[in-house]
Structure 1
Amino acid sequence: MAATTLCGFAFAAKEKYRLKDLEEIERGILLMKNQISYLGTPLTELLEQISWKTEGITGLAFQEISRQMEERRGNSAEEIWEGTWLKIGKKSYLTAVDLEELVSFGRTLGFIEKEQREGSMDMLLHYLREKQEAIKKRLEKNGRLYYSMGVLSGLLLVITLL
């Protein structure tokens, strides 16, 4: 019974962790947008600063991207961004669609003008906010359902075995 209850908790927790990851990414992108718009900070410095201000997998991703860009091994900003998010994304609760949105945003790093980059950031922020709202609604609707299903499945299993 405990195992099925824990499965119910795990289903709900997975969505909560994904929501937290998306919120941290949004925070990082907002910090990036503000720094680029008003201060014109170089990208490597900017990403390092963001890594200090964000938590979890997002902070690690920004830190790794900054470190690789500083090393200048011949990879473009786009390649570094994509490779890092795809590698770190495997350890996160992000979906393939979330990672694809992040990778497509990375294609704009370093290649376009400031206004276009801001537009690209706005598009990513819009996506992140939409997904966060959808997850919050789904958790509100299905969160208790997951817990209840876990408990009821355990009871059904116990009754069946008796």
Structure 2
Amino acid sequence: MIKLFGSLIILLVATSFGFRMASRYAERSKQLRLFINALQLLETEILYTATPLSEACRKIGTRIPGPVGTFFAELGHKLREGQGVTAGEIWRETLTAHKVNLRLKEADRDVLHSFGQTLGISDRQDQIKHIQLALAHLGTEEQGAREEQSKNEKMWRYLGALMGLTLVILLY
């Protein structure tokens, strides 16, 4: 009875590990999509309502769920307080602070860092061009993330269950 219970626990732990690894691929795709949505909202706020950057980021933070929304909410708060510091520096600091919560790869972060460097240093039309460029790059990264997700998500789920079964068989 104890062996059966132990085997079941091993199988459940290994399977949950596989599902956790698989969820990382889905989370990256989701967060890239949310960043794209957030930048589209930022574009709208800048172009049509001429909202100050700190207020626009705060609004986006309330509309976008999860870690991406938290990133923008904190960014808006820091932009409101940050006197003597550029918006790009605040963007970089906030992005670095949220590195743990965001399931982004280095290429994704590079796109966001590049966009952040141009944030708030030009007129509206130029800012819109930078947003559209970042949207194009993030769209490419999202497409790659979806392809990676479709390849690896199933594999990790099965691999977790199979690792658990292998361990159970080896222990008996």
Normalised to the residue count of structure 1, the TM-score between the two structures is 0.91
Task: Give the alignment's Cα RMSD to 1 decimal.
Answer: 1.5
1:18 aligns with: 28
Letter of the structure 1 residue corresponding to residue 150 of structure 2: E
2:168 aligns with: 158
Question: 1:86–1:99: 8 Å Cα contact kept in structure 2?
Answer: no
Give the deviation of 1:33 after TM superposition. 0.7
Letter of the structure 2 residue corresponding to residue 42 of structure 1: P
Indicate yes or no: 2:137 matched with 1:127. yes
Distance of aligned partners of 1:141 and 1:72 in 2 relative to their CA distance in 1, 3 Å threshold: closer
2:114 aligns with: 104
Structure 1: how far apart are the matches of 2:71 and 2:147?
Answer: 28
Indicate yes or no: 2:44 matched with 1:34. yes
SS in 1 for 2:119: coil
1:47 aligns with: 57
1:95 aligns with: 105
Structure 1: how far apart are the matches of 2:152 and 2:25?
Answer: 10
Give the deviation of 1:88 after TM superposition. 1.1
Question: 2:18–2:157: 8 Å Cα contact kept in structure 1?
Answer: yes
How many corresponding residue pairs?
162
Give the deviation of 1:84 after TM superposition. 0.5
2:12 aligns with: 2
Give the deviation of 1:137 after TM superposition. 2.0
Give the deviation of 1:26 after TM superposition. 0.9
2:6 aligns with: none
Letter of the structure 1 residue corresponding to residue 163 of structure 2: S
Give the deviation of 1:85 after TM superposition. 0.8
Give the deviation of 1:32 after TM superposition. 0.5
Letter of the structure 2 residue corresponding to residue 83 of structure 1: E
| CA deviations over 1:8-56 (Å, ceiling 9, x no partner) | 1111101111122111111110001112122221111111111111111
In structure 1, the gaps of 5 or more residues are none
Indicate yes or no: 2:147 matched with 1:137. yes
Indicate yes or no: 2:90 matched with 1:80. yes
Letter of the structure 1 residue corresponding to residue 67 of structure 2: I
Structure 1: how far apart are the matches of 2:145 and 2:108?
Answer: 13
Worse overlay, 111-120 or 6-15? 111-120
Say which one has the larger Rg. 2
Give the deviation of 1:66 after TM superposition. 1.2
Identity fraction in percent: 29
Worse overlay, 3-12 or 25-34? 3-12
In structure 2, the gaps of 5 or more residues are 1-10
